[in-house]
Structure 1
Amino acid sequence: MNQKIEIQPQNTIQSYIDEISISNPVANKYSMSMTRVQWRIWLLATFGKFFEGMIVFMMGLTLPLLTLQFHLTELQKGIISSSILFGILIGASALGGLSDLYGRKKMFIIEMALLSICLIGMATSQTYLSILVFNFGIGLALGCDYPTAHLMISESIPSKNRGKLVLGAFAFQSIGVLLGILTGIFVLTYVNDINAWRIMYIIALIPSLAITIARFFIPESAHWLLSKNRKADAEKSLKRLLHRSQQSSMPIEETPCDDVELSSWLHGYKRLFKEKYRAKTILASVPWFIQDLGTYGIGIFTPVILASVLDPHQVTGGDALHNTIANTIYLAKGTAVIDCLLIVGVICAIIFSESIGRMKLQIYGFIGCAVGLLCAAISVKMHGDYQMYLLFLGFMLFNFMNNLGPNAQTYLISGEVFPVKIRAKGAGFAASVAKFGAILTAFLFPILLHEIGVFSLLLCLVMTSLLGAWVTHKYRFETSGKNIENL
């Protein structure tokens, strides 16, 4: 008698996470049904991007007061602006890469504790050197968050939700940018003092302390535990993640190993440049580098560009402090209007990332950025109201297309294209390369604005945006909707 043999699907970690209700598969196809623990991990991961947007872009508002209080030279202003970005560059690889060795959760906690300590240091700094040190420390913490937060989300949620939720977390960067500017406007409006910049950092400190504590109460990534041959711990972590009883049966079968075990921390970085992963490393890092040239150049120096192009009627008649505060508030309001499109752009990225695909959105986004920057460049040669309208239109189009495409997609792609054993190193390396572009922008932008002018500088960014579209097209590798264990 022939027996009917049922072939059971492989019970991998991701297959458990990807399970949907058999009784109502149609409803679950369109829902984002997840456990409370999965939602808690996602919410805690959003704050890393929130703090980056708030603190990094708030620098454009605190710098005028720092300059006044500490009598900073142009060189010192450039060093302070770029120090936080240099910290991100180092932190993404040196600290973020450690989550491949010591665990996602451990570095997830350490980075936020470091951020809180450095925010306290910034708020109490009395010298230029201490500001430089703590600003760099803030960057280290934010850099570490690039790979760890991404992996905490992507290794804990269903494949069909990954793009939406990773980009949803990334959207908090734009919310942070806008809230940072609004915080600056509020503080400068009601605190007419040269130390008003300290209050901005204290405001950021309060939620960072709360998030540090909350991150202790989430499970470690089961994917990472299994990669370290800690199968029993992986099963316990998975049961907690999916809200199952620890006594329930959830046997895990290992997925095929991508290659040999890593022999050292450095070995993981060497593998990124081997033939097997070289194209993915280029795709993850080079377009992100190009994107950050424009993102941080336009983002940090929007008030400066508005001042140089529109030549606002500056407040005069008071002392230097009152004039500085009044003019900073004036330009911050214009910046806030422009930055609203960042949020609209990333919302569209969340909606269309799966249906259109990461690669198409990144390519279209780069081209859209080029068009926006070209409009802004043309406005420089105009006069009157049309100049203001075209300048705002150009910057708003740039912000929308940037967050729809390269700014959002580069972050998402970097955490998807590498295998689990080198995933944090790959994402961290890509973030570090990107932040090298941000450092170049932060340091050189004021100098280039003075030497070659706004028009020529914006045309240079038009060309780099088109280059980003070409590199993405050449090395494109679509990850939309794919199981992270199989990528």
Structure 2
Amino acid sequence: MYSPDTPPTESELYQEASAKTVQEYIDECPVWSDGTKSSVTPMTVMQWRIWMLASAGKFFEGMVVFMTGVCLPLISVEFGLSAADKGFVTAATLAGILVGASALGGLSDLVGRKTMFIAEMVIFTVFLIALSLAPNFFWLVVFLFGVGVALGCDYPTAHLVISESIPTSMRGRLVLSAFAFQAIGALMGTIIGCIILLKDPAPSAWRWMYATAIIPAVLVVIGRFFVTDSVHWLVSKGRMEDAEYETKRLLNRRPQYPKEVKLRHTHDAKKPRPKAHYGLLFNKDNRKATILASLPWFLQDLSTYGIGIFTPTILAAMIGAKTSETTIKDIIHNDMLASKGSAIMDILFVLGIVCAIMLVDRVGRIKLQIIGFIGCALGLLLAGLSMNADGGNNMLLLFVGFMLFFFMTNLGPNAMTYLIAGEVFPTHVRGMGAGFAASFAKIGAVLTAFLFPILLADIGTEMLLFFLVGASVLGAVVTFIFAIETRGLNLETIGQRQTDEEVEFEREADAELA
């Protein structure tokens, strides 16, 4: 870099003129011989590798969390669980996600995206092995919590390693495509549970259900060692040489382009800012983003995890399962029956996210989230109205309501809250912001997971469903009031906007003190 007292050489002027930002390199499109730009930015092998390995984390989350609904009746038999004990089992993983998202997810802003990308999967694998060997109820809860801590770290980290490595035009679709693996994992977890119950109809079958994810998890750990670190993060730390090297690796293609990488210092890297801490999420400039990312996610998790985990339990009570569970045979029968009904709902979960992927860059994040919340409220209302006071239930209305809920939650709030949380914060606090939002959301998930078994027994399914209708309506209202649409904005633009406001705020504060 030349100083004001030393005129720049022609070479320095050329290098400065040809330098680009990280996102400019990633977003660059091929040009035809007549000067026409292609409308598609080609993805490299490394970019697809990052996407696949990040998708695996969401798959494991859906598989483990929602498989718990299938495992719970069997665990209850083996360990003799009370209603409160069942609440601890279902809430343990979600409580771990709550802790992991903020305690570990925020570390990606300090030590790097790749470091935490690897660490979280190592933690997940270790606790998953321990979970399949859990000797008693206490250690079962501990190991489920440990699995949740790893999955919580994955919430912000997986989002960031994808969104900071791919073209802006594809960010929404690819982040949601990765998130779709949560739904695929939920479906696979239910199918695996059914298969294992058919092959081994014993209370200990739940151990094999969890163990099926161990070998895939080990393979994912190995694969994550061979991806690039986030170039956006390296630039934000001023590590320009490392950033240029990682950009070459990220964009390695045949024929090689670009042949040389010269990154331009962005505003985000050059302007001084206070040390990153969670207090920055609540300052004047980030407060709106924090509310938008956190509160609607909390409200949707009340429904998504409560209904998702306990769909087998609810359906077992309403679609003809045996009322007597005095024998192992009856328990296995009820579990199989409920799991099949739950698998049908999981298919709607997958269809919802597929539609979200197709519409997110056309309709926009905010509109889809509002539409989804309203659809969830309607679905839960129909399910609630299907229950009659005399004990008879309108099964058609029940299934239509549940199917509408499962479809709309992934079309809207379940998918959009995850996407929005990783997009509305600047680079230097993006991990903390996304991690805080995920942690705050999981407070709702933990509350419903712990309280659902108790409330189902005390106030009944109907009142619970009507309560969740209100939560969904409130989610739509909050989204509308605090809306920030990020469709079509690259992450450097989002970071630039936030940092300019932050610097201006600090300038005004200094003037007042003077």
Q: Is the 8 A contact 1:188 1:329 kept in 2?
A: yes
Q: Is the 8 A contact 1:363 1:469 kept in 2?
A: yes
Structure 1 residue 389: deviation in Å? 1.1
TM-score by length of 1: 0.94
Q: Is the 8 A contact 1:297 1:445 kept in 2?
A: yes
Cα deviation, 1:245-268, whole Å, max 9, x if unaligned, reads 6994211012112864343xxx42
Structure 1 residue 308: deviation in Å? 3.0
Taking the TM superposition and a 5 Å limit, the aligned residue runs for 1:44-63 are: 44-63=53-72
Q: Is the 8 A contact 2:84 2:453 kept in 1?
A: no
Structure 1 residue 270: deviation in Å? 0.4
Q: Is the 8 A contact 1:315 1:326 kept in 2?
A: no
State the secondary structure of the residue aligned to 1:102.
Answer: coil
CA distance in 2, matches of 1:198, 1:11: 52
Q: Which amino acid aligns with 1:23?
A: W
CA distance in 2, matches of 1:23, 1:383: 71
- Residue of structure 1 in register with 2:45 after alignment: 36
Q: Which amino acid aligns with 1:252?
A: L
Q: Is the 8 A contact 1:315 1:327 kept in 2?
A: no
Taking the TM superposition and a 5 Å limit, the aligned residue runs for 1:407-486 are: 407-486=414-493
Is 1:191 paired with 2:200? yes
CA distance in 1, matches of 2:141, 2:225: 30
Structure 1 residue 193: deviation in Å? 2.1
Change (3 A) 1:386 1:260: same
CA distance in 1, matches of 2:389, 2:411: 29
Change (3 A) 1:188 1:27: farther
Give the superposed CA RMSD. Answer: 2.1
CA distance in 1, matches of 2:366, 2:106: 25
Is 1:329 paired with 2:341? no
Q: Is the 8 A contact 2:187 2:346 kept in 1?
A: yes
Taking the TM superposition and a 5 Å limit, the aligned residue runs for 1:68-147 are: 68-147=77-156
State the secondary structure of the residue aligned to 1:192.
Answer: coil
Return 5+ residue gaps in structure 2 as ranges.
1-12, 495-514
CA distance in 2, matches of 1:247, 1:399: 44
- Residue of structure 2 in register with 1:343 after alignment: 350
Cα deviation, 1:205-257, whole Å, max 9, x if unaligned, reads 11001000110001111111111111000000000000066994211012112
Q: Which amino acid aligns with 2:110?
A: L
Change (3 A) 1:33 1:281: same
Structure 1 residue 304: deviation in Å? 1.5
Change (3 A) 1:133 1:246: farther
Change (3 A) 1:460 1:240: same
CA distance in 2, matches of 1:274, 1:262: 12
Structure 1 residue 311: deviation in Å? 4.6
- Residue of structure 1 in register with 2:250 after alignment: 241
Aligned match of 1:255 in 266, 281, 304? 266
TM-score by length of 2: 0.89
CA distance in 2, matches of 1:382, 1:16: 63
Change (3 A) 1:181 1:383: farther
Q: Which amino acid aligns with 2:118?
A: I
- Residue of structure 2 in register with 1:391 after alignment: 398
CA distance in 2, matches of 1:165, 1:315: 47
Higher gyration radius (CA): 2
- Residue of structure 2 in register with 1:378 after alignment: 385
Q: Is the 8 A contact 1:236 1:246 kept in 2?
A: no
Q: Is the 8 A contact 1:374 1:394 kept in 2?
A: yes
Q: Which amino acid aligns with 1:100?
A: D
Is 1:209 paired with 2:221? no
Aligned match of 2:316 in 296, 304, 307? 307
State the secondary structure of the residue aligned to 2:491.
Answer: coil
Structure 1 residue 8: deviation in Å? 5.4
Q: Is the 8 A contact 1:97 1:425 kept in 2?
A: yes
The aligned length equals 477
Identity over aligned pairs, percent: 51
Q: Which amino acid aligns with 1:455?
A: E
CA distance in 1, matches of 2:107, 2:203: 40
Q: Is the 8 A contact 1:368 1:401 kept in 2?
A: yes
CA distance in 2, matches of 1:327, 1:99: 43
